[in-house]
Amino acid sequence: MFLSECTAEMIANAAQTLKDGALVAFPTETVYGLGADATSAKAVARIYEVKGRPADHPLIVHIASMDSIGDWAIDIPEYAIKLARDYWPGPMTLILKRSELAQDFITGNQNTVGLRVPAQPIALALLKEFAKLGGKGIAAPSANRFGAVSPTTAAAVMDELIPFLNIDVDRILDGGPCLVGVESTIIDCTKSAPQILRPGAITKEMIEETTGLAVVSEEKTEIRVSGALDSHYSPKAQVVINAMAESGEGFIALATITTPSGALRLAAPNTVEQYARDLYAALREGDARELTKIAVILPQGDGLAEAIRDRITKAAHGD
**Residue 14: pLDDT over 50:** yes
pLDDT digits (tens, 9 = 90+) for 229-273: 655 678 999 999 999 999 999 999 999 999 999 999 999 999 999
Residues 84-103: tens digit of each pLDDT:
999 999 999 999 999 999 99
- Cβ neighbors of 116 (< 8 A, separation 6 or more) are 60, 61, 62, 63, 88, 92, 93, 94, 184
Alpha helices in the chain (DSSP H): 8-19, 41-51, 69-72, 78-87, 104-107, 121-132, 154-161, 204-211, 272-288, 304-317
Residue 1 has pLDDT above 60, yes or no: no
pLDDT digits (tens, 9 = 90+) for 21-51: 999 999 999 999 999 999 999 999 999 999 9
% residues pLDDT > 70 (the chain): 95
Domains along the chain with CATH numbers = 3-211 (3.90.870.10), 238-317 (no CATH)
pTM of model > 0.75: yes
**CA dist 219 → 5, 188, 198, 222 (Å):** 42, 12, 11, 10
Helix (H, G, I), strand (E, B) or coil at 132: helix
